[in-house]
Amino acid sequence: MFAPAGMKRTRNIAIAVAFTLWFGVTGCVHVAPWERGNLAKPQMDIDPNPLQTEMQSHNYSSREAAPSHKSSAGGGGCGCY
């Protein structure tokens, strides 16, 4: 039994929409208030020391005289680290 091409395409689109909705709905999770402390730990952050990272990046870009970083200093650098 062969289905017409239009029907097959409609079925494939319906399956894709169903999977998208299924994965979208399962991604929403209710977190209880007493469990939120676990997610707020510094270890869960992408960059646990953002100030230190920014200072190291600025220092490196200043020494390398690379103006590609947003906080880089103008002028030349000695190239040493």
- Residue 41 covered by a domain: no
User: Across residues 17-35, what is the average pLDDT?
Assistant: 81
Task: Pick the more confident residue, 25 or 15.
Answer: 15
Please state, in angstroms and rounded to a whole number, the distance separating the CA atoms of residues 46 and 67: 25
Please state, in angstroms and rounded to a whole number, the distance separating the CA atoms of residues 16 and 25: 14
pLDDT mean across residues, the chain: 75
- Residue 67 covered by a domain: no
Please state, in angstroms and rounded to a whole number, the distance separating the CA atoms of residues 79 and 62: 9
User: Which residue range is the domain that position 15 belongs to?
Assistant: 1-30
**Whether the predicted pLDDT of 50 surpasses 80:** yes
Q: Which of 72, 51, 52 is nearest to 62 (CA)?
A: 72
- Residue 22 covered by a domain: yes
Domain tally for the chain? 1
User: Across residues 64-72, what is the average pLDDT?
Assistant: 56
**Whether the predicted pLDDT of 69 surpasses 70:** no
